[in-house]
């Protein structure tokens, strides 16, 4: 936990949903959300491409619904995501995007740093 800002670290450990308006809530990113984003090859977890509009809408839908709800209807994800998006005003795109970034930032604060600090050391050879 961060010694510099313990409140920030506690908030990161227990992130809250973010209400963005029009009844839309951006959920804290769970392992389930991450798995769904990975399964759809979302730009949030796979930076090897530029997303098209369909991918952006599906990603927003995943981040604004419970992972279980998305998984239960996964075979209809694109249709369900577009039915949901159809009722939202365009200005919400930026608001949802900022809230998703906020949830990702909160998650990143609690992810342990990989490695043990010996990455720069080389093994000695025995002659």
Q: What is the pLDDT of residues 41-90, one digit of tens each?
A: 999 999 899 999 999 999 999 999 999 999 999 999 999 999 999 999 99
**Residue 126, in any domain of the structure:** no
Q: Tell me which residue range forms the domain holding 90.
A: 12-108
82 domain-assigned: yes
pTM to 2 decimal places: 0.79
HEC-encoded secondary structure of the chain: CCCCCHHHHHHHHCCCCEEEECCEEECCCCHHHHHHHHHCCCCCCCCCCCCCHHHHHHHHHHHCCCHHHHHHCHHHHHHHHHHHHHCCCCCHHHHHHHHHHHHHHHHHCCCCCCCCCCCCCCCCCCC
What pLDDT is stored for residue 120 in this prediction?
A: 53
Task: Please give the tally of structural domains in the chain.
Answer: 1
Residue 115: per-residue pLDDT: 66
d(CA 23, CA 2): 33
Residue 122 resides in a domain: no
């Amino acid at each position: 936990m961060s010694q510099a800002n313990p409140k920030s670290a506690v908030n990161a450990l227990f992130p809250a949903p973010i209400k963005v308006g029009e009844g839309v809530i951006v959920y804290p990113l769970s392992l389930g959300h991450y798995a769904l984003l990975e399964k759809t090859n979302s730009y949030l977890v796979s930076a090897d491409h530029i997303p098209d509009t369909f991918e952006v809408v599906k990603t927003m839908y995943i981040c604004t619904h419970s992972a279980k709800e998305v998984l239960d209807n996964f075979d209809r994800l694109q249709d369900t995501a577009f039915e949901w998006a159809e009722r939202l005003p365009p200005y919400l795109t930026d608001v949802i995007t900022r809230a998703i970034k906020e949830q990702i930032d909160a998650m990143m604060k609690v992810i342990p740093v990989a490695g043990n600090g010996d990455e720069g050391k080389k093994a000695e050879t025995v002659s």
